[in-house]
């Protein structure tokens, strides 16, 4: 299955960046039956096909062994919310975690060439807004926070938690994730200089 292989490659790539510490993060891609998603507690540095579950758009497991993480329900909500979403990649990085706590109202990005990697942006001169939503262990409440701020065309941060990148395809989502992480690393580095 080509889509499955592409998703596994994206997960492995994110893990190699150090963005999935302590089995953290979860990753999914839309398929005709619903979506493929990583099973809970799997080491993303050793990800394999049997670490993926097939779920329907209500989050119920149709195929695979193990259980989805609680956050699989947020993936399901995103796929239901926007039929253009083809992939969701969620990572835990230092920059996304720290900055989402420091800027709970969202992060303004301006003047960075890398902004152009985010779909719909063609200039570094624009100011774009990366949303931050409040964290919750209740996935329906978290989905409500996301829904209240929709649309979020590249993704969003969850306060104290990490990045949820979205895209119409795995390739676009991966580009969004990498660009967001780079931009956040720049903002974090700049904040050190301003002290």
Pull the structure tokens for residue 51. Answer: 């670490």
Rounded Cα distance, 108 and 40, in Å: 33
Supply the pLDDT for residue 194.
74
Q: Are 61 and 54 in contact (CB under 8 A)?
A: yes
CA distances, 195 to each of 19, 189, 192 (Å) = 27, 11, 6
Cis peptide before 151 (omega within 30 of 0): yes
C-alpha span between 160 and 141 (Å, rounded): 16
- Successive 10-residue mean pLDDT values, the chain, 195 residues: 94 98 97 98 96 97 93 97 98 97 96 96 94 95 95 97 98 98 97 78
> pLDDT value at position 3?
95
Per-residue pLDDT at 193: 82
């Amino acid at each position: 299955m080509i889509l499955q292989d592409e998703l596994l490659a994206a997960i492995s790539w994110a893990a190699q960046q150090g963005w999935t510490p302590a089995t953290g993060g979860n990753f999914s891609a839309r398929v005709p039956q619903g979506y493929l998603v990583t099973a809970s507690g799997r080491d993303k540095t050793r990800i394999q096909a049997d670490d993926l579950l097939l779920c329907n758009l209500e989050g119920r497991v149709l195929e695979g062994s193990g259980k989805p993480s609680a956050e699989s329900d947020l993936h399901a909500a995103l796929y239901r919310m926007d039929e253009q979403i083809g992939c969701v990649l969620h990572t835990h990085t230092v920059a996304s975690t720290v900055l989402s706590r420091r800027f709970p109202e969202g992060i303004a990005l301006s003047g960075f060439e890398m902004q152009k990697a985010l779909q719909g942006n063609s200039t570094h001169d624009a100011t774009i807004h990366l949303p931050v939503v409040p964290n919750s262990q209740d996935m329906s409440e978290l989905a409500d926070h996301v829904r209240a701020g929709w649309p979020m065309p590249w993704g969003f941060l969850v306060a104290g938690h990490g990045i949820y990148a979205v895209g119409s395809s795995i390739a676009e989502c991966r580009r969004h994730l990498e660009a967001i992480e780079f931009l956040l690393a720049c903002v974090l580095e700049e904040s050190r200089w301003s002290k």
